[in-house]
Amino acid sequence: MNLVTGATGLLGSHIVEQLRRRNLPVRVLVRPGSDRTWLATQNVEFAEGDVTDRGSLVRACAGVDVVYHSAAKVGDWGPWEEFQRITIEGTRNVVEAAVAAGVRRLVHISSISCYGYHTREVTVDETFELGYKLYRWAYYSKSKIEAERIVWEAFRAGRIEVTVIRPAWIYGERDRTTIARLYHMIRTGRARILGRGDNRLNVVYAGNIAEAAITAAAMPEASGQAFNCSNDGEITQQQYFDLLARAIGAPPVTRHVPYRLAYAAGFVLECLGHALRWKKPPFITRYAVWLMGRRSYFSADKARRVLGWQATVPYEVGVPNTVRWYEQHVLGHAKP
């Protein structure tokens, strides 16, 4: 049995999909009232609960061989208490429940943002230390680093096998946040390229990450290892926007904004947002600018070498499929 937390989210749903394609049994932890429409099509077992409720996790972990822990507080906005409760304490609860149930392997979904905010032209691999130049409100990255610390502590104590997957910027079907923002910015002509646009992006299809996680879970040598699942090959910021624009049927994005100007604007808006206690994130944040415009690159060579991981779905297929899914399932229409 395979337990997936965060199964209603983007990556969690793709882990479920890939497990079922392999005809492997799947149990999903779902909160009361969550949308289970798509999961109900996958022939999975439902375990009602929450990562903040250790008792529900103990029940969900019963008889489980592998836990894929992808639940977290996602995004770069919100009070620190939410990140602490969901990402940090939620991970602690998952670890304790998995250990108590005798789970063999915990596959923990982390993030390349744990490395911190490298911006210069450097290639970051798994040998780099975590937490480089984190700023005050980098709550997402700080919480993911602390969650990793909890997981590694359990592994070093010999309590459970652990594999850590560090994805980059994820896209794919069932993404209702990032694709929505990009789609409407490109459709309305408001999208801008940050800097020259020739920087390599770390963007990766959710299904490809899921394949890496499932492969790693079955490999004894992957226990105690972290893997950057950070790209599906080389693609620049301009090339990514060009693929999106073609899939949307919109003119290419040609207007540029200096990276430092956008970063400074993000800082000012964050200050205003925190001072005024905005519930929703600013239109621009430093994290979003860093994701899109940085010149640092995160290597996935270790995953390709150790796991034999390759992109089953390339950008030329994944980007149009994601756009079509958004148009059909969110906007409610299909392109002719």
Q: What is the pLDDT of residues 51-75, one digit of tens each?
A: 999 999 999 999 999 999 999 999 8
Euclidean distance between the first and the last CA atom of the chain, given in angstroms as a whole number: 42
Q: Evaluate whether 115 touches 133 at the Cβ level (below 8 Å).
A: no
Residue 214's domain spans which residues? 2-117+126-175+202-232+297-312
Q: Give the sign of the dihedral formed by CA 172, CA 39, CA 61, CA 72.
A: positive
| Cα–Cα distance measured from residue 299 to residue 297, given in angstroms and rounded to the nearest whole number | 6
| Cα–Cα distance measured from residue 60 to residue 94, given in angstroms and rounded to the nearest whole number | 10
Q: Count of CB atoms within 10 A of residue 192's CB?
A: 16
In a domain, 264, yes or no: no
Phi-psi region of 43 (alpha: psi -120 to 50; beta: other; left: phi over 0): left
- The CATH number of residue 57's host domain is 3.40.50.720
Q: Which of 62, 70, 73, 142 is nearest to 99 (CA)?
A: 62
- Chain-centroid distance of CA 212 in Å reads 13
Q: Are strands 2-5 and 66-69 parallel, antiparallel or unpaired?
A: parallel
In a domain, 273, yes or no: no
In a domain, 325, yes or no: no
In a domain, 35, yes or no: yes
In a domain, 184, yes or no: no
In a domain, 237, yes or no: no
Q: Count of CB atoms within 10 A of residue 23's CB?
A: 7
Which pLDDT value is given to residue 336?
A: 45
In a domain, 163, yes or no: yes
- For 66, residues 6+ apart whose C-beta sits below 8 A from its C-beta are 2, 3, 103, 104, 105, 106, 107, 217
Q: Evaluate whether 314 touches 233 at the Cβ level (below 8 Å).
A: yes
pLDDT tens sequence across 265-290: 999 999 999 999 999 999 899 999 99
Count Cβ neighbours within 10 Å for each residue of 119-153 and write b for 16 or more, e otherwise. Answer: beeeebebebebebebeebbbbbbbbbbbbebbee
Positions of the chain with pLDDT under 50? 336
| Cα–Cα distance measured from residue 290 to residue 259, given in angstroms and rounded to the nearest whole number | 9
In a domain, 207, yes or no: yes
Q: Give the sign of the dihedral formed by CA 41, CA 46, CA 48, CA 52.
A: negative
Q: Evaluate whether 184 touches 250 at the Cβ level (below 8 Å).
A: no
Helix (H) or strand (E) holding 169: strand 169-171
What is the count of structural domains for the chain?
1
Where are the strands (E) in 13-168, listed by range? 26-30, 45-48, 66-69, 105-109, 123-124, 161-167
Q: How is residue 322 written in tokens?
A: 């994601």
Where are the strands (E) in 7-64, listed by range? 26-30, 45-48
Which pLDDT value is given to residue 334?
A: 55
